[in-house]
Chains A and B, each alone.
Chain A
Amino acid sequence: GAGVSQSPSNKVTEKGKDVELRCDPISGHTALYWYRQSLGQGLEFLIYFQGNSAPDKSGLPSDRFSAERTGGSVSTLTIQRTQQEDSAVYLCASSPRGGQGVDEQYFGPGTRLTVT
């Protein structure tokens, strides 16, 4: 079946511009997660959705970052006034139930963002 998809796969933008990254989770998955992977660094948690609500957005690095999820499905991560330090691969994952425990997360291929 279809996995998690993300678009665009690559995005180059000028410093100061806004960008929107899209994630299409696996159909029926309740939980959705955004992560950031910088060069040479481990994955960094950004935000977690359960349905359309975000019970944990503690990983968002600044108020320039926001995310929403609609219809319990598609999510968009928006970065306003991009900075060069925002350059990274942004990964989205979904899981069937969310919550605690050992719910398996399925990752998308990521969006590589480069801010020039």
Chain B
Amino acid sequence: KNQVEQSPQSLIILEGKNCTLQCNYTVSPFSNLRWYKQDTGRGPVSLTIMTFSENTKSNGRYTATLDADTKQSSLHITASQLSDSASYICVVSAGEGYSTLTFGKGTMLLVSP
């Protein structure tokens, strides 16, 4: 069964600190992996999309890594800001139709002043 597991479930960090969120998946065949940011009461917003051949991608203070061999991805947030407080969702596509998009449950990040 295709699964995406994210850790930690929730995280509190001080403003200005860095943090790393983890995503492990058992999705096959693999097409691409996406990280989304979802503010409370809003729809998810894409941060990065990575295909099999990419092992790192940055978007401002967000850097995602992908290890397709171990089926792991991480999202690193540098110099956190209060506005980074949100749920971060890892999504993996198995590449055979949209019913095979598998979503993680998300990591809830709270950046504290």
- The answer to the question of B83 belonging to the interface, with a C-beta cut-off of 8 Å to chain A, is no
Residue numbers in A under 8 Å from B98 (CB-CB):
33, 45, 48, 56
- The distance in angstroms between the C-alpha atoms of A50 and B55, with both chains bound, is 31
Contact A42 B43 (CB under 8 A): no
Whether B103 lies near A44 (C-beta < 8 A) is: yes
Interface size class of B (residues with CB under 8 A): 20 to 34
Judging by beta carbons under 8 Å apart, are A104 and B99 in contact? no
Q: Is residue B49 contacting chain A, with contact meaning CB distance below 8 A?
A: yes
Question: Is A12 an interface residue, CB under 8 A from the partner?
Answer: no
A: interface residue count bin: 20 to 34
- How many inter-chain residue pairs (CB < 8 Å) link A and B? 53
Q: Is the CB of A41 within 8 A of B105?
A: yes
Other A-B contacts than A48-B99, A56-B99, 7 sampled, CB-CB below 8 A, are: A40-B105, A42-B106, A43-B91, A55-B97, A91-B43, A100-B96, A101-B31
CB within 8 Å of B: which residues of A? 4, 33, 40-45, 48, 55-56, 58-59, 91, 93, 100-102, 104-110
Q: Could you say which residues of chain B place their CB within 8 Å of the CB of A91? A: 43-44
